Amino acid sequence: MKTLCLLRHAHSEPAGSADIDDHDRVLSTRGLVEAENLGAFMKEQDILPDAMFCSSSMRTKETARIALSGLFPKGMDSIATRFSRDFYLAPPELIVDEIRDADDRFARLIIVGHNPGLEDLAEKLARAGGEMIGKFPPSALAVFTCDIDKWEDFSAKKVKLKTVFMP
């Protein structure tokens, strides 16, 4: 049995400044609070990932750093972490390919990224199990149990929505 967590970054500063690339936008004051609340929820629900794939954007890295700092003594340094620009605005198909390539020694994987890819994937997985998530706002977290021993066997037919956090 494996666990998959899909996490959308917390609210960031608005886009629109010609001086700041979208990839470099940081969390807003609201987003900082959301990330802390998310970490508290994860701790309360005993959601403790042992590996993380994260977009290389500033807002995803900040969200992960803050949320995980309350879960582990060394925060993100306590789990296997891979930052990649590939997760920046990644479509669901790419995310699924990366999940299937995950190392099987990890039982609890968290993907930290962006919409629309995460929302589309979360909804697809939830619907396969007869559930619905709907909108996936900033700081949303969907946790799925996966009836698999190997990540390469990951499919919508083998997952069940366990819990959802909406800010």
The pLDDT tens digits along the chain (167 residues) read 999 999 999 999 887 666 677 788 899 999 999 999 999 999 999 999 999 999 999 999 999 999 999 888 887 788 999 999 999 889 999 999 999 999 999 999 999 999 999 999 999 999 998 999 989 999 999 999 999 999 999 999 999 999 999 98
Q: Which domain holds residue 44?
A: 2-10+25-165
Do the domain assignments include residue 18? no
Do the domain assignments include residue 109? yes
Do the domain assignments include residue 106? yes
Residue 5: phi and psi, rounded to 5, are -115, 130
What does pTM read for this prediction? Answer: 0.95
Instruction: Assign residue 122 the CATH number of its domain.
Output: 3.40.50.1240
